[in-house]
Amino acid sequence: MRVQMIGSLTGMRNGARAPQRGDVIDVPDAEGHSLIAQGMARVADSPAPAAPEAETTEAIPEGEQAIAVPAKARRARKATA
């Protein structure tokens, strides 16, 4: 099965550098299906996944100022005994 890597792997694979993002590799069917199920690869002949849409920004009306809104703070986890 021929797959294109979506994610990168580290280390060695069969004595060679592990495949990186964008590499097209031939693997046994079981391994290919496993990589696809994990979201690490896609079938090489299929179209590339759609790029995420860019965040749109609205124009600021003349005479107004933009203000920064801080992100919501995360609460610390409670300690358990």
The rounded distance, in Å, linking the Cα atoms of 22 and 66 is: 39
pLDDT digit string (tens) for 23-70? 999 999 999 999 999 999 999 885 555 555 555 556 666 666 666 666
pLDDT digit string (tens) for 12-36? 887 888 888 999 999 999 999 999 9
pTM over 0.85: no
Specify whether the CB–CB gap between 3 and 42 falls below 8 A.
yes
